[in-house]
Structure 1
């Protein structure tokens, strides 16, 4: 009885645990820790959404079991959002399901469609549930480059030709967590053509669709003609409306995949609390000024963070989407690895970041920095980082940071290019 359970054995030790333990210990000592490690929105949910929740929860009838796949009004509201935002028409009855955040939906769909030994294609680095949802379900994961370009497409072609069994599904996530990469519609067209030809499902994670800062407005993969033949897309209200703790998300697209998720969820939950679903309708169908305001907030924070890091002597590429900066570890600390560097930064600067290794082996050499504190705290963080770097012999820089550029391809892209 001493052996670990089979599915638990397939999960490696939680990489973030060491940093989280050090962070908790520092706070217990009374230290002021600026936590940029977790993607946890700190701004309040817009008032009209909160008001609708309060109004609905006052009705005792709303306290009963809800609907696992989402109340009809919520599914219609999500379909309306897709038509307004992406010019994509969805059938609320067969092509939309509400989930308890996108993470739950991804994990349960993985369980619904995976047989032990299946091969799944997942970008590396990527958000942990993208690979571990399938690993828990018994699949084998094959890593592909994370950047949306020719390297990824070539890697997909190799994976189909050389994987046994042939891959059954592909995960994509743009704007991506943690790398902040964005994809355009032309890339999605190539991806859909490939997946249709090879009969591979695509699971697209679009949780950061409304957090973008440049000219490229993140599209939906479902906007590609024929995409619904093979693709389902996950969205979330967590970042768009600062509703992370409300746990409200969606899957939309391919009716077969939506049906599979609907069926497995019918055994597992009764859906989100009805007042939360009603408030989510208010979010999707009500005033959208708050979305632009939240986007502007993250852009301001991005600019403050990057100016401060540049002045400190740490060059970090400017993200064009998501609520994260994907920062290459300064050369002086590169050999110690992302976990040790994150702990050292916490210990000496009082700033917590997420080690890149937690997002896959090709995340090593990077840390993820969240835009989850106000500008005053971000300036405080960059001043502390400046002192930390200076103490280790890295001189501050003068002048403005370089113009926004995507992060350089990781060693994965370099090693897999043909």
Structure 2
């Protein structure tokens, strides 16, 4: 008999949708089907050659082999500060207002431990990124969900937050361009959010991995550009999306010293920093020209357009995303259960999508397509989906 050593924290971890979908994909492969995996937002484009070369050279440098303490991260912090200045005109202190992360997902979990105590209340978007809930359970926080509804442009209605909830709230989480809905937020919304959080002494956490993944003339605003934001907000950045470096696990947090300091204290007690070679690769990536980044985004835009055309030709309802690397589409009738739809689709056709309910109760009735394959593969996936819908 095996002893179960699970803590209450471990038992509180939500069942991961990726594990369920992985099992369904395995069933499809066992049946001899070619899997088209559009369920995970992991870029299939290569990292920048400049980043790869920086990493290659670092592996020959003995100075990179030791533990990397905070002082060793200065080059990356300065590069991030330069990026903020060039992109948004923000002047940030690389010593006190920027902190490297081993990916923004790790940073988010440590941030909750640094800025909140067990029992504190957190305002989370619904639908929202599933890993938020695991981090919240680990930190022992009470959740109040903020509905993101299509009729409101998938922006939370801050005026609908009850006064007693606002008084108790410690943290509010936002993320635009949004995963999974692909919604974007105008600067005016961030101004409203900053005013709200300043008034109620709430830490505003803006998860910002899709800063570069925007289409047409749209530019994603940074919450830190709002006057007063450094007193109440922190922004999380990742190189996983903009520079296709998901496996490198590298990003950074930017915000006032009042939140970066506690986050650094928690991280310092739990982990060292990323391998210095990976940090040098990140610096090289951040020094890429905007035109190089936009060329990558143009490939995603072509995929978006091909996928939308294929879906809409078959009667699916999906709006045109201005940002992100997904298409958020309503389930076709008569389906109402997104989990049942996605699991059956994967098992029978090999096409893996993410069920909307995996992102929260307000995600039910939708599925998310990730733009991680070329247009012809996306079109083949839609053909299989259409045939599945006819047969079921």
TM over 0.5: yes
- Find the aligned partners of 2:249 and 2:347 in 1 and give their Cα distance: 33
Does residue 63 (structure 1) correspond to residue 65 (structure 2)? The answer is: yes
Q: Offset of 1:165 from its aligned partner?
A: 6.8
Whether the aligned pair in 2 keeps the contact of 1:114 and 1:134 (CA below 8 Å) is: no
Whether the aligned pair in 2 keeps the contact of 1:130 and 1:171 (CA below 8 Å) is: no
Tell me the residue number matched to 1:92: 94
Does residue 213 (structure 1) correspond to residue 215 (structure 2)? The answer is: yes
Question: Would the alpha carbon gap of residues 260 and 303 (structure 1) be closer, same or farther in structure 2, given more than 3 Å must change?
Answer: same
Tell me the residue number matched to 1:25: 27
Tell me the residue number matched to 1:155: 160
Question: Would the alpha carbon gap of residues 316 and 349 (structure 1) be closer, same or farther in structure 2, given more than 3 Å must change?
Answer: farther
Tell me the residue number matched to 2:205: 203
**TM-score, length of structure 1 as denominator length:** 0.88
Match of 1:260 among 243, 259, 262: 262
Question: Would the alpha carbon gap of residues 151 and 211 (structure 1) be closer, same or farther in structure 2, given more than 3 Å must change?
Answer: closer
Please show how residues 125-274 of structure 1 align to structure 2 within 5 Å: 125-146=127-148, 152-156=157-161, 158=162, 161-163=163-165, 166-274=168-276
**TM-score, length of structure 2 as denominator length:** 0.94
- Find the aligned partners of 1:116 and 1:72 in 2 and give their Cα distance: 33
Q: Offset of 1:26 from its aligned partner?
A: 1.6
| CA deviation vs aligned residue, 1:161-220 (integer Å, no higher than 9, x gap) | 133971011000000111111111111111111111111110000100000113331010
For structure 2, the 5+ residue unaligned runs are: none
Tell me the residue number matched to 1:359: 359
Q: Offset of 1:86 from its aligned partner?
A: 1.1
- Find the aligned partners of 2:129 and 2:70 in 1 and give their Cα distance: 25
Please show how residues 399-418 of structure 1 align to structure 2 within 5 Å: none
For structure 1, the 5+ residue unaligned runs are: 393-418
Question: Would the alpha carbon gap of residues 6 and 69 (structure 1) be closer, same or farther in structure 2, given more than 3 Å must change?
Answer: farther
- Find the aligned partners of 1:28 and 1:58 in 2 and give their Cα distance: 43
Tell me the residue number matched to 1:348: 348
Tell me the residue number matched to 1:406: none
- Find the aligned partners of 2:265 and 2:11 in 1 and give their Cα distance: 28
Tell me the residue number matched to 1:39: 41
- Find the aligned partners of 2:379 and 2:86 in 1 and give their Cα distance: 37
- Find the aligned partners of 1:150 and 1:94 in 2 and give their Cα distance: 31
Q: Offset of 1:228 from its aligned partner?
A: 0.3
Tell me the residue number matched to 1:374: 374
| CA deviation vs aligned residue, 1:54-91 (integer Å, no higher than 9, x gap) | 11211122111113476111101101111111111100
Question: Would the alpha carbon gap of residues 310 and 46 (structure 1) be closer, same or farther in structure 2, given more than 3 Å must change?
Answer: same
Question: Would the alpha carbon gap of residues 231 and 81 (structure 1) be closer, same or farther in structure 2, given more than 3 Å must change?
Answer: same
Question: Would the alpha carbon gap of residues 150 and 108 (structure 1) be closer, same or farther in structure 2, given more than 3 Å must change?
Answer: closer
Instruction: State which drifts further: 54-63 or 4-13.
Output: 4-13
Whether the aligned pair in 2 keeps the contact of 1:309 and 1:385 (CA below 8 Å) is: no
SS at match of 1:163: helix
Instruction: State which drifts further: 146-155 or 98-107.
Output: 146-155
- Find the aligned partners of 2:365 and 2:52 in 1 and give their Cα distance: 41
Please show how residues 294-309 of structure 1 align to structure 2 within 5 Å: 294-309=296-311
Whether the aligned pair in 1 keeps the contact of 2:354 and 2:368 (CA below 8 Å) is: yes
Question: Would the alpha carbon gap of residues 304 and 207 (structure 1) be closer, same or farther in structure 2, given more than 3 Å must change?
Answer: same
| CA deviation vs aligned residue, 1:314-341 (integer Å, no higher than 9, x gap) | 222221110011111112112xx11100
Q: Offset of 1:265 from its aligned partner?
A: 0.7
SS at match of 1:239: helix
- Find the aligned partners of 2:157 and 2:72 in 1 and give their Cα distance: 35
Whether the aligned pair in 2 keeps the contact of 1:123 and 1:143 (CA below 8 Å) is: yes
Q: Offset of 1:289 from its aligned partner?
A: 3.0
Whether the aligned pair in 2 keeps the contact of 1:123 and 1:172 (CA below 8 Å) is: yes
Whether the aligned pair in 1 keeps the contact of 2:122 and 2:141 (CA below 8 Å) is: yes
SS at match of 1:331: coil
Does residue 318 (structure 1) correspond to residue 323 (structure 2)? The answer is: no
- Find the aligned partners of 1:133 and 1:70 in 2 and give their Cα distance: 27
Match of 2:79 among 71, 77, 80: 77
- Find the aligned partners of 1:19 and 1:105 in 2 and give their Cα distance: 25
Tell me the residue number matched to 1:285: 287
Match of 1:6 among 8, 14, 27: 8
Superposed CA RMSD: 1.8
